[in-house]
């Protein structure tokens, strides 16, 4: 797994007066429901460094606590992703309505600092931007690093790469794909508990599974995974599919995905089966499970994720 913490070089604060703390509008983190928007305010620490105050809920219906009352690592990853979108919109002026195209996302969570305790958790998410490329006064791509602290303790780190595209260019790039896809699954979901979930509506893999392969189950009615019209399957749904496939591959108890390294190669489209495969790797031990997950559609690789973490309940 990548050592995400080692990839972040702290940037000294600007010599001039630090900017004021500013509140967050939920459209800057591409959410429509306040309960799914985790950043609360932000401040620029240096030209390419931001501090985002985020609150992780203790009772989110989808990002529910895992493994002995710890915050779900995918909740932490989503908070980091939202903090990055905020930084580019508010800090660099990327207009609302632009599309963010994530090419890769790595994270490492330190579960000892992610206990829930029945109350919301305040986190400081530092966002480090680098390798920015510009066109017309706006960034068109760049890399992001994250360092998440809770009460002064390092709770998580991560890195990612993203591109930004204006709506007109995006529609031209997508060709004849409808701007809004609708998908209501027909096949039955895999057993809820085996997928590592507590609610049937959150299961994103379909029965029957065969030889460690399941069909992606896309339901555009899901209030957290689909908050606005979309012309492809969101990346967060693919990460959730990776987690559920890993739980199914590992067996009873499943896995807590404390570390993940994901690469997104092409869009997962509506209307064509996307097959999710999971293989438990030989380096799995009693304390840590490592699972390779891949998604294929129409014979092409859509994404790959390497997950590692403790067995749930272990």
CATH number of 250's domain: 3.10.129.10
Q: Which pTM does this prediction carry?
A: 0.92
Q: How far is it, in rounded angstroms, from Cα 217 to Cα 89?
A: 32
Both 197 and 139 in one domain: the answer is: no
Range of the domain at 278: 178-309
Which residues does 67 contact at the CB level (< 8 Å), separation at least 6?
A: 111, 256, 310, 312, 313
Q: Is residue 149 part of a domain?
A: yes
Both 163 and 24 in one domain: the answer is: yes
Neighbours of 13 (CB within 10 A): 12
pLDDT at 314: 62
How far from 270 is each of 20, 82, 179, CA to CA, in Å?
Answer: 43, 24, 11
Q: Is residue 314 part of a domain?
A: no
Q: Write out pLDDT tens, residues 28-48.
A: 999 999 999 999 999 999 999
Q: Is residue 215 part of a domain?
A: yes
DSSP secondary structure of 230-258: -SS--HHHHHHHHHHHHHHHH-TT-B---
Tens-binned pLDDT, residue by residue, of the chain (314 aa): 444 433 333 333 344 445 789 999 999 999 999 999 999 999 999 999 999 999 999 999 999 999 889 999 999 999 999 999 999 999 999 999 999 999 999 999 999 999 999 999 999 999 999 999 999 999 999 999 999 999 999 999 999 999 999 999 999 999 989 989 999 999 999 999 999 999 999 999 998 878 899 999 999 999 999 998 999 999 999 999 999 999 999 998 899 999 999 999 999 999 999 999 999 999 777 789 999 999 999 999 999 999 999 998 76
Both 69 and 186 in one domain: the answer is: no
Q: Is residue 162 part of a domain?
A: yes
Both 184 and 240 in one domain: the answer is: yes
Both 196 and 113 in one domain: the answer is: no
Neighbours of 266 (CB within 10 A): 13
Both 47 and 196 in one domain: the answer is: no
Both 161 and 193 in one domain: the answer is: no
**Local structure of residue 19 (DSSP, 8 states):** P
| Residue that finishes a domain, picked among 124, 145, 172 | 172
Q: Write out pLDDT tens, residues 171-189.
A: 999 998 998 999 999 999 9
Number of Cα atoms under 13 Å in the Cβ half of residue 87: 31
| Residue that finishes a domain, picked among 172, 204, 220 | 172
The structure tokens listed for 119 are: 């109350």
Q: Is residue 272 part of a domain?
A: yes
| Residue that finishes a domain, picked among 172, 199, 225 | 172
Both 120 and 240 in one domain: the answer is: no
How far from 71 is each of 77, 113, 118, CA to CA, in Å?
Answer: 11, 9, 11
């Amino acid at each position: 797994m990548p050592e995400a913490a080692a990839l972040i070089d702290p940037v000294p604060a600007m010599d001039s007066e630090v900017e004021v703390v500013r509140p967050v509008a939920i459209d800057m983190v591409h959410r429509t429901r306040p309960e799914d928007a985790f950043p609360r305010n932000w401040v620029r620490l240096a030209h390419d460094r931001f501090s985002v105050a985020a609150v992780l809920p203790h009772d989110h219906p989808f990002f529910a606590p895992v493994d002995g009352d710890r915050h779900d690592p995918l909740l932490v990853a989503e908070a980091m992703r939202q903090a990055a979108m905020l930084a580019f919109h508010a800090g660099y002026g990327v207009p609302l309505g632009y599309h963010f195209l994530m090419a890769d996302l790595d994270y490492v969570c330190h579960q000892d600092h992610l206990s829930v305790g029945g109350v919301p958790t305040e986190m400081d998410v530092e966002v480090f931007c680098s390798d920015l490329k510009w066109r017309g006064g706006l960034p068109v791509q760049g890399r992001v690093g994250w360092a998440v602290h809770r009460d002064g303790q390092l709770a998580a780190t991560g890195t990612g790469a993203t591109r930004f595209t204006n709506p007109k260019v995006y529609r031209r790039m997508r060709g004849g794909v409808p701007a809004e896809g609708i998908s209501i699954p027909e096949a039955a979901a895999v057993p809820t508990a085996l997928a590592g979930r507590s609610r049937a509506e959150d299961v994103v893999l379909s029965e029957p599974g065969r030889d460690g392969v399941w069909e992606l189950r896309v339901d555009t009615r899901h209030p957290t995974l689909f908050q606005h019209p979309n012309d492809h399957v969101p990346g967060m749904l693919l990460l959730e599919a990776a987690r559920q496939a890993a739980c199914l591959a590992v067996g009873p108890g499943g896995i807590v995905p404390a570390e993940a390294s994901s690469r997104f190669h092409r869009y997962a489209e509506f209307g064509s089966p996307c097959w999710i495969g999971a293989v438990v790797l030989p380096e799995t031990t009693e304390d840590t499970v490592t699972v390779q997950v891949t998604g294929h559609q129409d014979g092409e690789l859509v994404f790959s994720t390497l997950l590692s973490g403790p067995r749930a309940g272990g």
